[in-house]
Amino acid sequence: MRQYYVYIMTNGVMTNGVRALFVGMTNDLMLQIHQHKEKLVAGYTRKNGCTMLVYYEATNDIVAAMSRERQLKRWSNRQKIALVESSNPQWSDLSVDWYEAKTS
């Protein structure tokens, strides 16, 4: 059974009271995060230095994952911040161990 992930990345920096937040979806979270950390993915995450995984959720339903990604992308930053803080109040990089394992 395949897993799909909806995730939020940040650069952790507050600029004028706003964090850069990126919402994405993938079926290989470790690989996708590695690509963001190495800045291999052109676009918003590379431009804004979003290398910290601060939230993710998994499902085996691709339609549900795509729907959830669209929903989160429409949310305000305030709503996304509340979602992150509900499960990760310290804004820890949830991928630290994964990334180190990937590069070993």
Domain range list for the chain:
4-103
Which tens digits make up the pLDDT trace of 43-94?
998 998 899 999 999 999 999 999 999 999 999 999 999 999 999 999 999 9
Alpha-carbon 17 to chain mean position: 20
Q: At what angle do helices 96-103 and 29-37 cross, to 10 degrees?
A: 80
Residue 12: which region, alpha, beta or left (left: phi > 0; alpha: psi -120 to 50)?
left
Q: Which option is the CATH number for 4-103: 1.20.1070, 2.60.40, 3.40.1440, 3.30.70?
A: 3.40.1440
What pTM, to 2 d.p., does this model score?
0.89
d(CA 99, CA 93): 10
